Amino acid sequence: MKPVVWSADEAAARLAGPTADLDAGVLRGVPAIVVDDAHLLAPDALRPLALLPVVCIGVAAAGTAAGFDAVAGDIDAARHLASAAHERPNAAASLAQVLRASEGLATDAALLLESTAYATLQAGPEFAAWLAGRGRRVRPEEPDAPLLVDDDGERVLLTLNRPRLRNLFSAAMRDALVEALRGLAAGDDRPIVVEGAGPAFCAGGDPAEFGSVDDPTTAHLIRTTANAAPWMDRLADRITVRVHGASVGAGVELAAFARRVEATADATFCLPEVSMGLIPGAGGTVGVPRRIGRQRTMAWCLGGATIDAETALAWGLVDEVG
């Protein structure tokens, strides 16, 4: 379907009346709206659109179109983002809603909102289609601990330890990380370093575990009681994350909470969840926008690009490349 493009004047006229909800929204077959010359649209005119389940993309220079979910520098880039929203309309619109509502929320409340939306999408058709296309994967039992803890008395080093699988973030790794961080929260104020063993920091959630909990309500309750994100946030001032190789999904999301993120020159970063019919679910809708802004987070998730370390540094996703 061809993306809908409005001029600033047309957007203002359509949104001024009582039928704005008839012109846009996932249930209307219009999951994304592109507004050209978005900087000319007054914030009051944009407010009705921001209440709808639709991705609002403005064509404008960065920093000149507050209130839009994403901003593109030209109409072609905006159409590309809108096309991505059309491919996964439920996930795209849900992400836009969550990012809007999360701004200014306390971490715990924002994580609850993220998990609720994530669980809803887990029960939806887009994620089901992704699961069906991926096929079932089974992991053999792993004898090694998924997390290594090295306490030298001066600092604590936490190492993600599934190197053969590029440290895919499993439930066992998550639980071990939560246990370690919980203990450190109750102790002293020594520095904490988080890194990954092997060729990559963390290549995202383990695909073998996606969809392994049939009931999305149970999955939501697990995610809200056994989530490393609130502990990373609570201990953020003490944490340095060292990223090398691939950082995907949960690898990006958890690192974003740390006070300091250091990346090697070969590090890459990607948030692919929308293409799976989901949104970031390991704290990414909270920690990532705090570092790079809501609009850039939305555009990045929609576009699905893998960015390099220098781009991550320019965005503010990492603090040092070396």
Q: What is the pLDDT of residues 68-110, one digit of tens each?
A: 999 999 999 999 999 999 999 999 999 999 999 999 999 999 9
Q: What is the pLDDT of residues 242-286, one digit of tens each?
A: 999 999 999 999 999 999 999 999 999 999 999 999 999 999 999
Read off the pLDDT of residues 290-309 as tens digits, 9 standing for 90 and up. 999 999 999 999 999 999 99
Q: Is 31 helix (H, G, I), strand (E, B) or coil?
A: coil
Q: Which phi and psi angles does 301 have, rounded to 5°?
A: -65, -40
HEC readout, 71-139: EECCHHHHHHHHHHHHHCHHHHHHHHHHHHHHCCCCHHHHHHHHHHHHHHHHCCHHHHHHHHHHCCCCC
Which H helix or E strand runs over 320? strand 320-321
**What's the whole-number average pLDDT of the chain?**
92
Is the CB of residue 167 less than 8 Å from the CB of residue 206?
no
Q: Is the pLDDT of residue 2 over 80?
A: no
The pLDDT of residue 253: 97
Asked whether residue 23 carries a pLDDT value surpassing 80, the answer given is no
Residue 66, pLDDT > 90, answer no
Please say if the pLDDT value at position 1 is more than 70: no
| CA nearest neighbour of 206 among 175, 244, 241 | 175
Please give the average per-residue pLDDT across 26-46, as a whole number.
Answer: 87
The predicted structure's pLDDT at residue 190: 94
Q: Is the pLDDT of residue 132 over 70?
A: yes
Cβ neighbours of residue 298 closer than 8 Å, sequence gap 6 or more: 55, 69, 70, 95, 96, 99
Can you read off the two tokens belonging to residue 293?
């802004």
Comparing CA positions, the residue from 211, 275, 223, 281 lying closest to residue 252 is 281
The whole-number average pLDDT for the span 4-29 is: 82
Quote the CA–CA distance of 287 and 258 in Å, as a whole number.
Answer: 9
The pLDDT of residue 212 is above 70:
no
- Say whether pLDDT at 210 is over 90: no
pLDDT recorded at residue 125: 96
**The pLDDT value given to residue 67:** 87
Q: What is the pLDDT of residues 154-204, one digit of tens each?
A: 999 999 999 999 999 999 999 999 999 999 998 789 999 999 999 999 999
